[in-house]
Amino acid sequence: MLDTQRIAPAGKFLAEEEIQQEIAKTLGSRFIYQRLLVLIPDHTRSLPLPQLFRIVVESIRNPKKLDFLVALGTHPGLSEDQLEQLVGITAEERVTKYASIGLINHEWQNPDSLISIGSIDQDQIKQIAGGLWHPSLPDQVDVRINKKVLEYDHIWIIGPTFPHEVVGFSGGEKYLFPGISGPDVINATHWLGALAGVVGTIGIKDTPVRQMIHMAASYLPTPVTLMALTVEEHQLSGLFIGDAQSAWSAAADLSSERHIRWCEKPFQKVLSCAPAMYDELWTGAKAMYKMEPAVAVGGEVIIYAPHLDVVSHVHGKYINEIGYHILPYFLRDWQKFKHIPLGVLAHSTHVRGSGRMQGEVEYPNVKVTLASKISAEDCARLNLGYMDPNQVQISEWKERENEGILYVPRAGEILYRVKSN
């Protein structure tokens, strides 16, 4: 059920006054003398979070406790300065006006920060996966979540919804699983998404991964309200407040209208520019995910990220060991890779895209080239193409769609698809 639904006309945005009124109307006296935990994304998601942080804090009347937990998944934790920047407050405000409000990082690798609230057994996994099931999926998923969720009377989620390579559309209960979950759910959901493939997942609402997330969330005893957002150009074009599934579904419907660009025919070459908010290839690879459905077989996606100098702050060891490969590469000799976390294997296949094996030779459908500070030697070792970012002339890529060449100035959130796909 939706408490609030506001949609701006195409090309327009919701006014700050309208946003403030709707949030205040929904929050108001609802959580008086209650303990409220607010889940928020990190800096790798586009939304006007500083504006929303202040509106939410000012709208809640006399909470017993109010804290914000960053749903990092496996992303690196934020420093105190980064947390302040994330919500748009000064260091002085942190110790004065907002001193009573906690700003907390999720710690997915810290067993002491997690609690098990249930499990998903093999029969349930097989039912969810359907024809995608593969013995590489776990026999059981321990549904572990940040134990703070049991210390509050209510959970309030703030987050945008975009087409997503693993789950179909981001947002909603994804902020719980994998946002503040343990490694079992993170690995299982991402690997199930890899088995489905990016092209067969992204921009689709009802996916096996979304079903698994819903099942995991059903074990949570703490009530949840979702403030789902549709964001364009860092501004809100849609605001939906209600139960987690209804609000997410409405936001995903609007996202499918606003965040998908339909192309007449596939492109041969794409210069896909990853914005600075993606400070590692782990997230910067979204510049590939959103483009693959619109690239011809044999075409090329160039991830242009001249600021990027690291593959992954958290998972670099494993990625450097295995490199980037298509899914059949891993499935043909599955036992060889059992020691690698499934979430890392999933990332590898998502970056490399779809393709086929012929004997021992790998044939990806799309060539992936990296134009960043990561060296040519490292790219070769990782099984990626290399381009010197200093040699890229942006002007040479613009307005060449009729030639089969596409320039995407800010990639990672808008999905490109061919109309026949």
Q: Enter the CATH code of domain 263-418.
A: 3.90.226.30
What does the pLDDT read at residue 206? 96
Of 413, 387, 82, 390, the C-alpha closest to 275 is: 413
Cα angle vertex 401, ends 400, 404, to 5°? 100
DSSP, residue by residue, 287-298: HHHTTGGGEEEE
Q: What is the mean pLDDT of the chain?
A: 97
Alpha helices per DSSP H over 33-99: 49-59, 80-87, 91-95
Distance CA(131)–CA(149), nearest Å, equals: 34
Alpha helices per DSSP H over 88-121: 91-95
Distance CA(301)–CA(365), nearest Å, equals: 11
Of 67, 1, 71, 70, the C-alpha closest to 34 is: 67
What does the pLDDT read at residue 318? 98
What does the pLDDT read at residue 3? 87
Answer whether residue 137 shows pLDDT above 60: yes
What is the torsional sign of CA 96, 31, 216, 350? negative
Answer whether residue 421 shows pLDDT above 60: no
- Residue boundaries of the structural domains of the chain: 2-258, 263-418
Taking residues 34-55, what's their average pLDDT? 97
What does the pLDDT read at residue 307? 98
Answer whether residue 361 shows pLDDT above 90: yes
Distance CA(268)–CA(248), nearest Å, equals: 34
Distance CA(245)–CA(257), nearest Å, equals: 19
Taking residues 329-347, what's their average pLDDT? 96
Taking residues 305-329, what's their average pLDDT? 97
pLDDT more than 90, % of the chain:
97
CATH class held by domain 2-258: alpha beta
Instruction: Say which DSSP state 76 is in.
Output: P
Cα-flanking dihedrals φ and ψ of residue 388, to 5°? -70, 115
Taking residues 364-375, what's their average pLDDT? 98
What does the pLDDT read at residue 228? 98
CA atoms within 13 A on the CB side of 186: 23
Per-residue pLDDT of 83-108, as tens digits, reads 999 999 999 999 999 999 999 999 99
The 3-class secondary structure across 173-205, one letter per residue, is HHHCCCCCECHHHHHHHHHHHHHHCCCCCCCCC
CA atoms within 13 A on the CB side of 274: 30
Answer whether residue 253 shows pLDDT above 90: yes
Q: Facing residues of 260 across strands? A: 415
Answer whether residue 234 shows pLDDT above 70: yes
Per-residue pLDDT of 397-414, as tens digits, reads 999 999 999 999 999 999
Quote the tokens at residue 202.
């992204």
- Mapped onto helix, strand or coil, the DSSP state of residue 123 is helix
pLDDT category of residue 28 using cuts at 50, 70 and 90:
confident
Taking residues 264-285, what's their average pLDDT? 97
Quote the tokens at residue 186.
């993170």
Cα dist from 98 to 49, 87, 94, whole Å: 15, 11, 5
What does the pLDDT read at residue 399? 95
What is the torsional sign of CA 169, 52, 44, 219? negative
Answer whether residue 420 shows pLDDT above 80: no
pLDDT category of residue 2 using cuts at 50, 70 and 90:
confident
What does the pLDDT read at residue 380? 98
What does the pLDDT read at residue 29? 82
Answer whether residue 270 shows pLDDT above 90: yes
Taking residues 271-298, what's their average pLDDT? 97
